[in-house]
Amino acid sequence: MIYAGIDAGSRAIKVVLLEAPSGRIVASALADQGVEQDKLAAGLYHRLLSENGLRESDVARTVATGYGRAIVSIAHTTVTEITCHAAGVRRLAADARTVIDIGGQDSKLLHLDAAGKVRDFAMNDRCAAGTGRFLEIVADRLGVQLADLGRLAKQSRQPAHISSMCVVFAETEIIGLLASGAMPADIVAGVMHAIAGRTAAMAGHAVDGPVVFTGGVALVPGMDKALAETLDREVHICPSPQFTGALGAAILAANHKD
């Protein structure tokens, strides 16, 4: 039997098809988010089914999660991204005790118990300064690709101090740093540490290990190191970090009892 999870995030839509009871991931796919979120989610879902020789009738249940979950009309039900990320990480990194999820427009920090259940969590969905948007802004300002930020950060000798808590003011601060002759590498390293600092502040207390890093920002080289240095904990990047929410949604779909 096939079950589907759809993570309608703020910047990307992710779909995972899961076979149960084996737990095998049949397929996964990702597409950029847009204005017509429901249409985009349905298009990606049906394309994934077609590419794997499946029909909609082969899918027993579909769960939607993420920023735009309420408008995914093909889903049978919705589940919060907190619950879905915990379930997805539990499948991929069963010993995780802290989950850091940083996406394009929000960030989350989850504390898990030994069974993988959420003990408590904190979420930032109001300030872009702690999200991937901040990295996009600095990459654009420096005229480099996101993938190049890690290489630049490694060249830093003295990370710049980014004090602004608002991404708009932080961008102005970056412009000022460039005007004063600050090295791009130091600015990138400073931005990464600023994001890590905002993430650590969400924890409220020391985090328990293992710490697992998910979300699109986990794919940006150097962010795991910045988080590790700030938290004073080793940070592990989750396999397929962009898909943990969709995977968790598919798992919860399979576990649903009618």
- Say which residue, 29 or 182, is predicted with more confidence: 29
Residues 35, 163 share a domain: no
**φ/ψ bin of 23: left (φ > 0), alpha (ψ from -120 to 50), beta (otherwise):** left
Average pLDDT over residues 64-77: 94
Residues 224, 103 share a domain: yes
| Count of the separate structural domains present in the chain | 2
pLDDT number for residue 125: 64
Distance from the Cα of residue 157 to its chain's centroid = 28
- Domain limits for position 121: 95-238
Contact 230, 211 (CB under 8 A): no
CATH number at 28 reads: 3.30.420.40
pLDDT number for residue 257: 65
Average pLDDT over residues 97-114: 91
Evaluate the omega torsion of the peptide bond into residue 210 and state whether it is cis, within 30 degrees of 0. yes
Residues 220, 123 share a domain: yes
Residues 156, 70 share a domain: no
Q: What percent of the chain has pLDDT over 70?
A: 95
Residues 205, 121 share a domain: yes
Of 89, 93, 67, the C-alpha closest to 80 is 67
Residues 132, 211 share a domain: yes
Average pLDDT over residues 49-67: 96
Average pLDDT over residues 97-125: 89
Average pLDDT over residues 189-209: 86
pTM score, two decimals?
A: 0.90
Contact 208, 230 (CB under 8 A): no
pLDDT number for residue 164: 65
Q: What percent of the chain has pLDDT over 90?
A: 60
pLDDT number for residue 18: 98
Residues 79, 116 share a domain: no
pLDDT number for residue 81: 93
Most confident of 115-124, 130-139, 237-246: 237-246
pLDDT number for residue 11: 84
Residues 226, 118 share a domain: yes
Residues 213, 120 share a domain: yes
pLDDT number for residue 100: 95
Residues 99, 82 share a domain: no
Question: pLDDT category, 127, cuts 50, 70, 90?
Answer: low
Average pLDDT over residues 55-62: 96
Residues 102, 223 share a domain: yes
104's enclosing H/E stretch is none
Question: pLDDT category, 212, cuts 50, 70, 90?
Answer: very high
